[in-house]
Amino acid sequence: MNTPCPQMKDLSFDHFWRTTFCAAGFLLACLLPAGSALAGAQPLKPCRVAGIKTEVQCGVLSRALVPAQPNGTRIDVHYVVVPALARRKRADPIFFLAGGPGQSAIKVAPLVSQQFSRLNNRRDLVFVDQRGTGRSAPLVCEDQRSAPMAGKLDNVQREAATAQCLAQLKKLPYGDLRHFTTVHAMQDLDAVREALGASQINLIGASYGTRAALEYMRQFPAAVRRSVLDGVAPPDMVLPLSISGDGQTALEALLLACEKEAACAKMHPNLRAEWGQLLASLPQTVRLAQPLTGQIETLQMTREAVLSLVRLPLYSPLTSSALPWALSEAAKGRWEALMGLGFSASPSGAADLAMGMHFSVICAEDVPRMKNTTQAPAADFGSDFARSYERICAGWPRSEVPAGFYAIPVARSAVLLLSGGIDPVTPPRHALRVAQALGAKARHVVVANAGHGVMMLPCMRDVMLRFIDAEDDTRAAAVDSSCAARVPRPGAFVPVGQSQSVVNTRPGAAP
């Protein structure tokens, strides 16, 4: 049996109500029949999570790796509860579903609980490490953050490393990788809900977490009170294909924004042409320092490598504001800016993704649908990303996903869908389609100048709070979200040495 939580230790109870809460959970677990869904539940334990100042509670459920074989291999599913501050808290906790796929919910709990502290006033916040992530039967490949750049940028080397990882994962006690899909994971999540004694819960999903939330809503609609889906990744989006066109759209929006912004246009009057010249000059042999280790390397800068370095900064408008300068520098043979930007711009938590779980999900749920999906390769981003996934998934163990997984039933409770207008991976077009399928209870809000993930924006945190706190679905649907229209797009990055020459071209600058 695994220990409850990473970097945590048990502490004595210091409040009577916490003692009562845990004791009630213990009695509930003891009184359940042996064959019930909660037979594998252990009582919550007080613990500490690095980054969270207050004491929290840790729990673990023993779950069948293969749901149809309850007496077969079992895995531990770990979760953390950040207790509500109010003495008379609401009975419906908030479950956060992490992204990736492959991100640990417990690892992002410190950031999320800090950003959404107002939600925590009256409701418990619950973070479940989905099977295959964090401490829940992790499917983790070797950490590549300090590895040579060539191995990260070259498809052949990257796929070879993934094949080695697969061989190691198969040797694990729970190494049947066919059973780490979203369908099974959401059954685990509902078992946590039952263990906590909550008749209904609120869901907040980000990126892949929105797909997980939609699947939970499909399997357990009566258990959902409200849902917030941020950066919607529907089950039928076929990620390896869609990311090419969506990335191209975001890049085109960046180039156009530079042409329309006086300061950017003055610094980079030929940016679009420079970008075309840069792609045409590839491949190139370059010598660069690895951004994290400082080690000088010689590597081939291919078209695929450059596009991967460009795609990640596009996730964040603030980070992508430096792309015009980085692209212009690279076109002149100075690669340091683009390399540093690309390597430092991984989406939040991406470095800690459990890549085994990532491929177990994508290879089962997305890649099999590629052959029946017609989508022309994007002009610049092409189809290399999709072809790489195809090659990896050709040898990855997978089970058949139920046909119903790809259907989105009409929502029985209020759903708030959030999109960033310049998101390169889950742009508004995906959420729009999902909102139409969910029906009258769904509301879609687009933050035109935001990228991937908008719920951390101050105004959107307030919208979410009022949406979840609303007394009924009608009031929830009527929550004012007009602040989304006032979120600006950051101006283009201006190097210190050039700042004075362009300052007067900024809107509103003094003459």
Q: What DSSP assignment string belongs to 289-337?
A: E-TTT--EEEEEE-HHHHHHHHHGGGG-HHHHTTHHHHHHHHHTT--HH
CB contact set of 351 (below 8 Å; sequence gap of 6+): 143, 145
| pLDDT reported for residue 275 | 97
Residue 403, both tokens: 């046909």
The position carrying tokens 């074989």 is 69
Q: What's the rounded Cα separation, in Å, for the pair 327 and 333?
A: 10
Question: Tokens for 106?
Answer: 């417990």
Tokens of 410: 């009409």
Per-residue pLDDT of the chain (511 residues; tens, 9 = 90+): 433 333 333 332 223 222 222 333 333 333 333 333 455 567 899 999 999 999 999 999 999 999 999 999 999 999 999 999 998 999 999 999 999 999 999 999 999 999 999 999 999 999 999 999 999 999 998 776 666 777 778 888 889 999 999 999 999 999 999 999 999 999 999 999 999 999 999 999 999 999 999 999 999 999 999 999 999 999 999 999 999 999 999 999 999 999 999 999 999 999 999 999 999 999 999 998 887 788 899 988 999 999 999 999 999 999 999 999 999 999 999 999 999 898 876 544 445 799 999 999 999 999 999 988 877 788 899 999 899 999 999 999 999 999 999 999 999 999 999 999 999 999 999 999 999 999 999 999 999 999 999 999 999 999 999 999 999 999 999 999 999 999 999 999 988 766 545 544 444 443 3
Nearest C-alpha neighbor of 401 from the set 218, 178, 209, 205 = 178
CB 148 within 8 A of CB 339: no
Task: Copy the structure tokens of residue 261.
Answer: 């912004």
Furthest CA-CA distance within the chain: 78
d(CA 2, CA 209): 25
Tokens describing residue 4:
């409850």
pLDDT at 36: 36
459: its two tokens:
């105004």
Helix axes 303-311, 323-331, angle to 10 degrees: 160
3-state secondary structure at position 141: coil
Could you say which DSSP state residue 382 is in? B
Instruction: Spell out a b/e string for 37-62, using b for 16 or more CB atoms within 10 Å of the CB, else e.
Output: bbebbbbbbbbbbeebeebbbbbbbe
Closest CA to 96 of 106, 83, 86: 106
Nearest-angstrom CA–CA distance, 425 and 323: 17
Helix pair angle (323-331, 271-280), 10° resolution: 50
The residue ranges of every structural domain in the chain are: 142-174+238-402
507: tokens are 């809107």
C-alpha distances out from residue 41 to 25, 47, 272, 448, Å: 9, 17, 58, 44
Q: Which two tokens stand for residue 208?
A: 């892949």
